[in-house]
Chains A and B, each alone.
Chain A
Amino acid sequence: MTADFVSRLPNDIGGAEAGSIVQVDHVLEPWEKRCHALADVLDFKKIINTEEKRKGVEALGADLIGKLPYYERWIVTFANILFTKGLLTPTELAEKMAEVEARFAAEAG
C-alpha cells in the first residue's frame, strides 16, 4: 500500500479509480481570471513555466491538493516558487496581504 505513495505523486492519477463524471463548469471569478493571466505572464517572462507550476502544485502534497480548489492551488504554488527563487519573501507577502485586506475592507465600507 505504501508503495503507491512512493511510486505515484498526488497529480499522477491516470488509471486511478474514481467516481462518475459530473459535467460541471463555472464562469471564472474575476480573481480566478487574473490568477490565470498571472500564470501566463509569469510563463512569458520566464519566471515560472508550466512544468514548474505543475511540480509546485505537486509539492503542496495530496492533503492540500485535495482540499484546495484549482486557482487556490495555483496562487499558493506561485507564492512558494517565488519564495524559493528569492523573488519574494514570506514577510513581504504577509505584510502586503494585510495591507490588501485592509484596503478591501475600507473599499467595502
Chain B
Amino acid sequence: MSEHDHPHEPITSDSKPSYYEIMETAVRELLIGKGLITANEIRHQIEVLDSRTPALGARVVAKAWSDPTFRERLLADGRAACEELGITFYDDTQLIVLENTETVHNLIVCTLCSCYPRPVLGLPPDWYKAKPYRARAVSEPRKVLAEFGTIIPDDVEIRVSDSTAVIRYLVLPRRPQGTEGWSEDELAAIVTRDAMIGVIPVTVAERAAS
C-alpha cells in the first residue's frame, strides 16, 4: 500500500456540504432527537436500498420464462409472486406485471413524479425522473422508444402504464429466440433494467456484455 493510499486518510471532499445536505442532516438528527425515527432505521433502510438492483427483476423474468405456472401467478399478482422468490416489498405498493407479446408492447412511466417498482428494480435512472420521458412517454411513445433505438412495428399496440403512489408496474419482456434450453441464470443475465421498463427488448447480444 502506498503512502497516498493510507487507510486512515481523512475523508475529505472538494466542496463544502451544500445547504440541502446540511438540511438533510439537521432534519434527520432533529427527528432522531425527538424519538420519531431512529438512526438504526435509517441505517437499515440504506442497506435495503443497496440490496435492490435490476438483478432481482431479472430473476423474476427468467423464472416466468422458464416456469409457466409461475408466469401465471406473476401475471395474476405480481407482488405475491415476487414474494415467493423472497423479494420483500418494503414500500407498501402493489405490483402489476405487464406481459409483452407479439401484438402488445408495454412501457412504464410515472408522469407525476418518479414512482417505480423499487423493490424489484432498485432506484430509477435519472432520465426516468426527468421531464422529457415523463411528458412524452404517454403522448408519443413510438418516438420515445425510437430515441432508445427501439422501433415497434405499426401493427403492434403500445400500452403505456402510468404508475401511482401505490400501484407500480414491471414489464415482462418477450423471451428472445435462440435461448431455448437456457438455464434461469443464463436467462437472467440477459434481462436488463431498461427492458423491464419497456424501452428496449431483451436480446441475446446482451449476454456478451453482461
**A residues apposed to B, CB below 8 Å:** 11-26, 28-29, 31, 33-38, 40-45, 47, 49-51, 54, 57, 70-72, 75-76, 78-79, 82, 87-88, 92-93, 96-97, 99-101, 104-105, 108-109
A45 to B22, CA, bound (A): 23
A24 to B129, CA, bound (A): 10
11 A-B pairs within 8 Å (CB atoms) are namely A14-B138, A15-B111, A21-B133, A24-B126, A24-B127, A31-B20, A37-B45, A43-B91, A44-B41, A79-B23, A93-B27
Interface check B49, CB cutoff 8 A = yes
Q: How far is the CB of B23 from chain A (nearest CB, A)?
A: 5
Contact with A along B127-138 (1 / 0, CB 8 A): 101111111111
Chain A contacts for B69, CB-based, 8 A: none
Q: How far is the CB of A74 from chain B (nearest CB, A)?
A: 9
Q: How far is the CB of A46 from chain B (nearest CB, A)?
A: 10
Contact with A along B28-45 (1 / 0, CB 8 A): 111100101100011001
Interface check B112, CB cutoff 8 A = yes
Cβ-defined contact, A40 with B91, below 8 A:
yes
Partner of B25, one of A29, A31, A40: A31
Chain A contacts for B147, CB-based, 8 A: 20-21
Chain A contacts for B23, CB-based, 8 A: 75-76, 79, 93, 97
Report whether over half of chain A's contact residues are helix, strand or loop; otherwise say mixed. helix
A66 to B159, CA, bound (A): 29
Cβ-defined contact, A104 with B46, below 8 A:
no
Cβ-defined contact, A41 with B41, below 8 A:
yes
Q: How large is the interface on B (under 10, 10 to 19, 20 to 34, 35 or more residues)?
A: 35 or more
Shortest 6 CB-CB distances between A and B: which pairs? A14-B111, A37-B45, A18-B135, A50-B165, A96-B26, A25-B125
Interface check B9, CB cutoff 8 A = no
Cβ-defined contact, A38 with B24, below 8 A:
yes
Among residues of A, the one whose C-beta sits closest to the C-beta of B50 is: A33
Cβ-defined contact, A108 with B126, below 8 A:
no
Cβ-defined contact, B27 with A21, below 8 A:
no
Chain B contacts for A96, CB-based, 8 A: 26, 29-30
- Known contacts A13-B135, A78-B27, A88-B31, then 12 further A-B pairs from the complex at CB < 8 Å, ordered by chain A residue: A14-B135, A14-B162, A18-B135, A24-B125, A29-B21, A31-B17, A40-B48, A44-B90, A45-B41, A47-B36, A50-B165, A93-B23
Cβ-defined contact, A24 with B130, below 8 A:
yes
Interface check B108, CB cutoff 8 A = no
Among residues of A, the one whose C-beta sits closest to the C-beta of B133 is: A21
